[in-house]
Chains A and B, each alone.
Chain A
Amino acid sequence: MRKLVQSFIAVLLLSLLLLYVSNRLNEAGGYAGDNTLIVYNWGDYIDPKLITMFEKQTGLKVIYQTFDSNEAMMAKIAQGGTTFDVAVPSEYAISKMKEEGLLLPLDHKKLPNLKYIDPRFLNLSFDPNNRYSVPYFWGTVGIVYNRNMLGGKKITSWNDLWDKELRNQILLIDGAREVMGMALNSLHYSLNDTNKAHLQEAKRKLDALVPNVKAIVGDEIKILIPNEEAAIGVVWSGDAAEMIAENDKLDYVVPKEGSNLWFDNMIIPKTAKNIEGAHQFINFMLDPKHAAQNAEYVGYATPNKQALQYLPKEITEDKRFYPDFDKIGHLEVYENLGKRMLAYYNELFLEFKMHRK
């Protein structure tokens, strides 16, 4: 018993000591009081050198945290445990967060670099006059495929994926809206369709795809496709750019039936403590040179018009990742369909996953 008490006290003392040391370390590192800035972003979605540069310029310390879905990010901001100062949600998440009062309005006077953004990306339906958000990156959902593994066969449409020869060759991303959207588009319906008969039809069409689907995976897809684990992947454009950089036999196509066009945007959530610093950070990222550096690192398309001149021509002239705007009329932005409809999408997606070969 005595030994037990002794060891208990020892553990307690050790923890207190560690707590003290970590506090001191935080202070020494500058992580104290109001000179920190907590940035909440998607994983691997910023050039770390830019963070260092920002810290040097402003004297602020950036704490960088990541999420892997809009839903998880919203849950954490709504719950309010951490004082996130800047976050980067997609467009449909922004309209939802606006409804739930999770956003703080931006002060445009503190964002002079907003003028460099291409006007086509401003004043979009999910946030009129950019009251709450400024664009960060944009892109599409499409098909990445391995030319060699397909023996030179070209993929141009969603319906090509149903080809019987592609048995066990397709990897899908684990997203209900992306996969359901693909099926809806292949039937020439809108990917924001809320007609249950159409959705059931899309689900039946997906069931027919099952023999061709090797797996439904998350971020691992960025390793699996370049490693030639499967010939085809349904992915976001920037992930495709990253994969092509690793394996030059890969190609990316936005299917002709239509697909998703998305925008990720910087916002200041209501949890923010350092609102001044958040504006500084957003303005810093809007600087054309910084935006260009970031775009080159991350691989997604930048909405910053002035940044394009700092990027190599082979990037900005690649129509796969910087498609002409007048040619993407068939692309749609996700709308906030409401909780009930989203639950229905997810239920159908779950049933599709359970469908056996």
Chain B
Amino acid sequence: MKNSVRNVYLFPYILWIALCVVAPIALIVYDSFFDIEGHWTLENYEKFFTPVYLKMTLSSFWYAFLITLFSLIIAYPTAYLLTKTKHKQLWLLMIILPTWVNLLLKVYAFLGIFGTFGLANAVLNAVGIGTKQILFTDFSFVFVSVYIFIPFMVLPIFNALEELNPSLVDAARDLGASAWTTFRRVVFPLTLDGVKAGCQAVFIPALSLFMITRLIAGNRVITLGTAIEEHFLVTQDWGMGATIAVFLIMIMAFVVVLTGNRR
């Protein structure tokens, strides 16, 4: 009796997993074995190991790594300061607020800010540096991506810091540890789960960014996400697009396992 009730509860979960997780992945894997004319082939996998796609994979990795790194460098101190402020929730809300604005809108705003006659160059001119090309560079691409992903890094770290028992910090200080040692030996290890969760939440979507690569980087940065979009929408080579997606899924699974908790 009890078992059957549990089964009923399990039903929506299983349905969800089957329809929205297993089926799409199976379809992607299935599609990846067909060429552009619909014949069965392994050609797509061979093609992935040509220099073009390997280079693309490496550069996707590199940019995703940079985005995650800078997000972490900015987000950790921010989250730490937030836990020390008086109106924590309000300040946290301020950080989450930008995520309520449509992504495309934010990206378009940067087109104006970073343009030759934009705000950023006006400031550079005013301090005597002169006009620089900011738009369509690696810098602008990483900057805008970090700006977009930062809330997803701050939140888990903030939660981890909140859960940290302050008496542990007090104990460390009482026993003579310096502020830096306390942070290194007590605070950081205890919030590592938050950092890992944040890195996953940033690295994985950063790996398959596409719109920003065209709008902000002017297609000077090509990631695997851009290639998938192009294969599905323009070339209509669904097989190749699906093959890249299969590799992305494998890479992401690998990242999750690597940063996962071994307990």
Contact = CB atoms under 8 A, between A and B. Distances in A.
Interface string B210-247: 00001101111010000100100111110010000000
Residue with the greatest number of chain B CB neighbours at <10 A, chosen from A75, A217, A229, A351: A229
15 contacts: A69-B234, A71-B235, A174-B219, A214-B133, A215-B136, A217-B215, A220-B215, A227-B117, A228-B116, A339-B237, A340-B37, A343-B240, A346-B230, A350-B52, A350-B227
B66 to A, nearest CB: 16
A350 B116 contact: no
**In terms of DSSP, what is the predominant structure of the interface of chain A?**
helix
Contacts of B218: 171, 214-217
A35 B236 CA distance: 34
Interface residues of A, number: 29
A220 B227 contact: no
Interface residues of B, number: 28
B184 interface: no
Contacts, number: 77
- Which of B37, B218, B230 counts the most A-chain CB atoms under 10 A from its CB? B218
Given A339-B37, A340-B37, A218 B214 contact: yes
A215 B235 contact: no
Contacts of A223: 111
B233 A343 contact: no
Interface of B: 36-37, 52, 55-56, 59, 111, 115-117, 133, 135-136, 214-215, 217-220, 222, 227, 230, 233-237, 240
A72 B163 CA distance: 48
B222 to A, nearest CB: 5
B236 A75 contact: yes
B117 A217 contact: no
Contacts of B116: 227-229
Contacts of A75: 233, 236
A168 interface: yes
A298 interface: no
Contacts of B133: 168, 214
A115 B216 CA distance: 47
B236 A215 contact: no
A144 to B, nearest CB: 17
A329 B87 CA distance: 72
A16 interface: no
Interface string A211-235: 0001111101001100111000000
B136 A346 contact: no
Interface in A304-357: 339-340, 342-343, 346-347, 350-351, 353-354
A102 interface: no
Contacts of A350: 52, 222, 227, 230
Interface string A43-86: 00000000000000000000000000101100100000000000
Given A216-B219, A350-B52, A72 B233 contact: yes
A347 B189 CA distance: 46
A339 B235 CA distance: 8
A97 interface: no
Contacts of B36: 339-340, 343
A220 B55 CA distance: 28
Contacts of A168: 133
A176 interface: yes
B233 A220 contact: no
A71 B236 contact: yes
Contacts of A347: 52, 235
B31 to A, nearest CB: 14
A229 to B, nearest CB: 5
Contacts of B227: 350
Nearest to A176: B234
A351 B52 contact: yes
B237 A343 contact: yes
Interface in A182-216: 214-216
